[in-house]
Amino acid sequence: MGIRKIELEVMRYDPEKDEAPHFQSYTVPCEEDWAILDAINYVKDNLDTTLAYRWSCHMMVCGSCGMMVNGEPSLTCKTFVRELPDKVRIEPLENFPIERDLVVVLDDVMQKLHKVQPYIIRKDPPPEGKEFTQSRGQLAIFKQLTMCINCMCCYAACPQYGLDKDFIGPAALALAHRYNRDSRDQGKSDRLDILADHDGVWECSFVGACSEVCPKHVDPAAAIQQMKIDGAMEFWKQKLGMPGDKS
């Protein structure tokens, strides 16, 4: 395996010194099997200890190393140097304020994740003395949605969120749908007001970029369109006086 030198153009921002972010270039000798995260780690360990960025597991589980790699929201532990040109531009995730260098402020989406009540809500008491049963078919309906690791690449890809920060956004809506589709959950009506609100599913215009960049193939765009259908059905059920989720 040979060493290949690439030029990493990294966005830097020091809130105590800089008025605005700027780019700094580093030449990094990369092993053939390196991910971009390895190249960034090389910079931190050997060239510039002041570089700030988030990472933890290096195996697509923690979701903390999401960055823009040549303009594409990517998990840097999953994006390999061998698939990229000799010059690679690294920026913090789009659509989020920059805290420092490659670290972004995630407070807004954390609040939105909380807002959709992403947990099992029960109206009836749980089965006494035994666990909930769920068939494999019932699990299959929402299993893909449980794969989200909150890397927020979908928010960085979503122009709707970029233009309107009130939009609840892809990951939080997909998470809501995950619980709405769970056979053990009875909280669909509790989530309806938030999801069917102006800043909920109807703010999505189905660009589909969230699903294309999702490193875990969660497909938030699909979840949101399904929720639109659910919401429309609920609207007509109410209009026609039929029993619905809200009744």
Partner 1 sequence: MSRRPYNRPMSTTTWYMRNSRYKVYVLRELTSFLVAFYTFLTIFALGALATSPERWNDFLASQQSTAMIVFHGLALLYFLFYQTFPWFKLAPKAMPIHLGEKKLPDSFIIVGHYVAWIVISAFIFWLAGVI
The yes or no reply on residue 117 touching partner 1 (CB under 8 A) is no
Phi, psi values for residue 9, rounded to 5°: -100, 105
Nearer to partner 1, 105 or 110 (CB): 105
Is residue 141 involved in binding partner 1 (CB under 8 A)?
yes
Q: Please state, in angstroms and as integers, the Cα–Cα distance from residue 191 to each residue in 113, 139, 144, 149, 214, following that order.
A: 12, 20, 20, 21, 24
The reply to whether 75 sits near partner 1 by the rule CB under 8 A is no
For partner 1, which residue of 65, 81, 98, 113 counts as binding (CB under 8 A)? Answer: 98
* Cα separation, 126 vs 183, whole angstroms: 12
Give the DSSP letter string of 23-62: EEEEEEEE-TT-BHHHHHHHIIIII-TT-------SSSSS
CB of 121 to partner 1, least distance (A): 23
Q: Interaction with partner 1 in 213-232: which residues (CB under 8 A)? A: 219, 221-222, 225-226, 228-229
CA distance 129 to 83: 53
- Residue 11: phi, psi to the nearest 5? -75, 130
Is 15 a residue that touches partner 1 (CB under 8 A)? Answer: yes
Q: How far is the CB of 151 from partner 1 (least distance, A)?
A: 18
Work out how close the CB of 4 gets to partner 1 at its nearest, in angstroms, rounded to a whole number.
Answer: 26
Of 113, 195, 209, 218, the residue at the interface with partner 1 (CB under 8 A) is 209
For the CB of residue 97, give the shortest distance to partner 1 in the complex, in Å. 4
Q: Which of 1, 16, 130, 198 binds partner 1 (CB under 8 A)?
A: 16
Binding flag, residue 205, partner 1 (CB under 8 A): yes
Paired residues of 153 in beta bridges: none
By the rule CB under 8 A, 35 interacts with partner 1: no
- Phi/psi for 201 (5° steps) reads -60, -30
Cα distances from 153 to residues 72, 129, 204, 214, in angstroms, run: 9, 41, 16, 6
Please report, as a single letter, which amino acid is at residue 210: C
Contacting residue, 44, 146, 208, 238, with partner 1 by CB under 8 A? 208
Exposed, middle or buried by CB within 10 Å (0-12, 13-18, 19+), for 135? exposed
Is residue 13 within the footprint of partner 1 (CB under 8 A)? yes
Q: Which stretch binds partner 1 (CB under 8 A): 45-53, 171-179, 204-212, 239-247?
A: 204-212
Residues that bind partner 1 (CB under 8 A): 13, 15-16, 18, 20-21, 71-72, 94-95, 97-99, 105, 136-137, 140-141, 157, 159, 162-163, 205-209, 211-212, 219, 221-222, 225-226, 228-229
